[in-house]
Structure formats: structure tokens, C-alpha cells
Chains A and B, each alone.
Chain A
Amino acid sequence: MNHDHITSARQLSRSDIETVLDRAAEIAADPDSVANSHEGALLGLLFFEPSTRTKMSFSAAIKRLGGDVVDMGPVDSSSVKKGESLADTVRVVEGYADALVLRHPSEGAAKMASEFVDVPLVNAGDGAGQHPTQTLLDLYTIRESAGLEDVTIGIMGDLKYGRTVHSLAHALTNFNVSQHFISPDSLKLPRKVRYDLHQEGSTVKEHTDFDPILPSLDVLYVTRIQRERFPDESEYRKVAGEYQIDADTLASARDDLTVMHPLPRVDEIAYDVDGTDYANYFEQAHNGVSVRMALLDILLGGGQ
């Protein structure tokens, strides 16, 4: 893989993706083999938006490689509060760390920041833009559970603002995968993502009804529909309710369906799904550590 920075799933070729997933599988099988491989390496964490799992799994990943983190901490207590630009912040922090991880509320923040630094920079979410490392762990999980050849995937929920969806949909065009997009009309894929899928030769199959498509799916990727996307509470309840699943809703699914979710979930997947064989979302979250270890290992120059 020959990238200085990882800012978007759009930049990842099939071979880039497979390099990371293969390395992640090696690491998952034998974590001790890399336990001290990046001793002393420091990962700079710049989270301008709250995050639990992405931030913790990056921390876990660098520590399991023998390194450590330097963390900007919450925005309230940082110099950003005093009006420092993102460009200045990253130029300062690159001097403290061997690689940077950035989450920011503005789309394109990671790409811009990467233009100001020489150390590798990884996008951990930019507004409603991209979240490429989530995509790598999603692909890893899909490969383990259903495979990435000749599979049918349904992606459901907030497809308009969901950055995990944007990254995943694009990355999946590298594989022989049939993608179905299930959402309310108001939250359909944005034009920019549809454009990319067309460019890559994928047909965009959009649905507002979930039930008819369910029996054909190998993988169902559920995302959260947020309250603030709707003008009022009742409209939200009505619409979001149609895209919530429980054990009963899944009755018509194939036996080997894999249900995924980038987490956190609220009520879009009922707890009674957790105990079924369909549920894969906690494993998916756990895979985040191996996949981020693999990515950091490669970016920090241990991979090839």
C-alpha cells in the first residue's frame, strides 16, 4: 500500500484493502508477533468531536504495537477554543507524534490537514464525509462472516449523512458485491456517493421498504437514524420505526444472514437480536483493534 495518509475510502484500491485485511488477519491470529514492533511510537489523537470506540480502539491498537498516545483531549480545554486553525494545530502536533488520527466535524478536514503535515494522518471521521478505518474493519468483518465475493449486502438507515455508509459503499465497489440501499426518501444516498458508484460501474439499487429485500441479503448493515434529521418528534418516530429490526422482523431472513452496525446503537436493533446467530456487531467492533493495528503498522513502516 502506497499512501502517506488515509483520508477517504475513495483512495483505497482493492489491493490496498486486501493488504490491510491480510495483515489484520495475521495480527489477530498472533498478536504477540507485533507486541513490541513499534516500541516508542507515539500516535497523536486529535478528536474535535466526541468519540468512544474509535478513539479507544486506536489507543488500544498503538499500545498493543508497543507504542503510546498523545491526546489533544476535549476541544473545550484546548487551544482550538482560543481560535487556532486546524492547519496550525496539526502542524504543531505533528512535531509531537509519529502519526496523527483526526476526527473533525467539517467535511474534508482530514484531507486539508494532511496537506499540512509530513507524518501519516488518518481520518477518523470528517462530518458527513468519510470514515475509512471503520470501513476497513467493516470489510474485515464481512470477509470473515460472508466473504467478499458474490455477496448481497443491504445498507440501511441514514444513508445521507452516514459517513460510515459513504465510505463502505465506495469501498465495496472494489469487490463482487451487490449493494442495496434501504432508507426513507429524505435520507437517501447523497449525489456525490451515487456518482462514484455509477463511475465504478455499480448499479445503485435503492429501496424504501425493507421487508421485500430482506430474504435476498447475506449481510444487513444497519445505521442509526438520528432525531435531529427530522422536523418533529412524531415524524421521526414514524419514519425511524420502519427501519428498526428485532428478532421477529428477521424471521424471513436467510439463516446465515450477518447483521452489522457501526455502533453505538440506540433502538434500531432490538436487544433480542443480540442472542441470535445473525448478530455480528460486537465482533465487528472488536475487529477494530486488529484492523487499526494493521493499518498503523503499515503506515508506520513495518508492513512491507
Chain B
Amino acid sequence: MTDQELRVSKIQRGTVIDHIPGGQALNVLAILGIDGTEGDVVSIGMNVPSDRLGRKDVVKVEGRELSQSELDVLSLIAPDASINIIREFEVRQKHRVDRPERVTGVLECPNHNCITSESEPVETEFEVLDGGIRCVYCDTIIRENIASHIYV
């Protein structure tokens, strides 16, 4: 790790999500449901130069070790993301995100005639396909721009 890469001060404990495609950091936070209202200390680097991706985003969440299932949803918009668990200022674990089989509650079905768009006590649920996701209620398939369907 070079000092040039570390644009914010070191965190003692938390999670660093690295290698996010440039410009997707806010969508990553939206997927994780982190909007700052719960007091999490979050720093974001956007469009940082990267050997691998050209430009990448980096998100650092202090004090929280995000679970694998929370993070797997990120694979939909940041398939190359690496997750670094930081303890005592050091990277203690590093893993990749896996594509989940299902995504519950994070994304909105684009079909306005879908039962999940009504005021029913049901969460959205999508099956993850090779090239997209599919609403398990109305079968609608989303292939492009999945991030635009994140609940806001």
C-alpha cells in the first residue's frame, strides 16, 4: 500500500471496499443501505487512478465489518470489488464478492404492474441470472443498468 493510495487517514477497524468501477461508490453505499443517518464514519474515494481498472472508487466504512451476504449484492454493480477487513490498522482479511443466488429488498422491480409495486407487505426478490436479474414475482428481467433500480 502506497501513501498515494491512502488518501484518508488510516482506520483502526472497519471495511474497505476497493476496486469499485469509477463512479459507482454512491451506488455501493445505497445498496448497503448506508446513507450516513446512522452515524457511520464513511470515506469515499472516487475516480482514483488504478492500474487494474483505470479509474476506481474506494469506500471505507469505519467500525463495521460488513458480512459476506451484505457484500455479495455488490457483485451486481462491482463484480471486481475486493473487500478488505481492517483490524488494528492492518488488512486482516481480503476477499472477493460472489454473485448471490437471490437479492432481497435492495432493488425495485421496474414493472409498475408488478405486485411488489403495490402497497403489499412483500419485499422485492430477484433471482440472479448469468447476464442480469429476474423478479421472482412478475418474471421481469433486468440486464442493463441494475444500479438505477436501487431503492432510494
Q: Are B141 and A108 in contact (CB under 8 A)?
A: no
The count of chain A contact residues (Cβ–Cβ below 8 Å) is 21
Secondary structure class of chain B's binding surface, majority of residues: loop
Q: In the bound complex, how far is the Cα of B114 from the Cα of A142, in angstroms?
A: 31
Residues of A within 8 A of B120 (CB): 85-87, 112
Residues of A within 8 A of B111 (CB): 107
- Cβ of B84 < 8 Å from any Cβ of A? no
Residues of A within 8 A of B138 (CB): 106-108, 127, 129
Scan A86-127; emit 1 where CB is below 8 A from any B CB, else 0.
110000000000000000111111011001000000000011
Looking at B32-40, B60-68, B129-137, the stretch in contact with chain A turns out to be B129-137
Taking CB as reference atom, which chain A residue is nearest B138?
Answer: A107
- Cβ of B53 < 8 Å from any Cβ of A? no
Residues of B within 8 A of A85 (CB): 118-121
Q: In the bound complex, how far is the Cα of B113 from the Cα of A129, in angstroms?
A: 10
Q: In the bound complex, how far is the Cα of B118 from the Cα of A10, in angstroms?
A: 23
> What is the CB-to-nearest-CB distance from B113 to chain A, in angstroms, rounded to a whole number?
5
- Cβ of A191 < 8 Å from any Cβ of B? yes
Scan A121-154; emit 1 where CB is below 8 A from any B CB, else 0.
0000011110000000000000000000000000
Residues of B within 8 A of A8 (CB): 139
Taking CB as reference atom, which chain A residue is nearest B134?
Answer: A192
Chain A residues in the interface with B (C-beta under 8 A): 8, 10, 85-87, 104-109, 111-112, 115, 126-129, 191-192, 195
Q: A115-B122, A129-B138, A192-B141 given. 8 additional CB < 8 A pairs? A: A86-B115, A86-B118, A106-B118, A107-B138, A108-B135, A112-B115, A112-B120, A112-B137
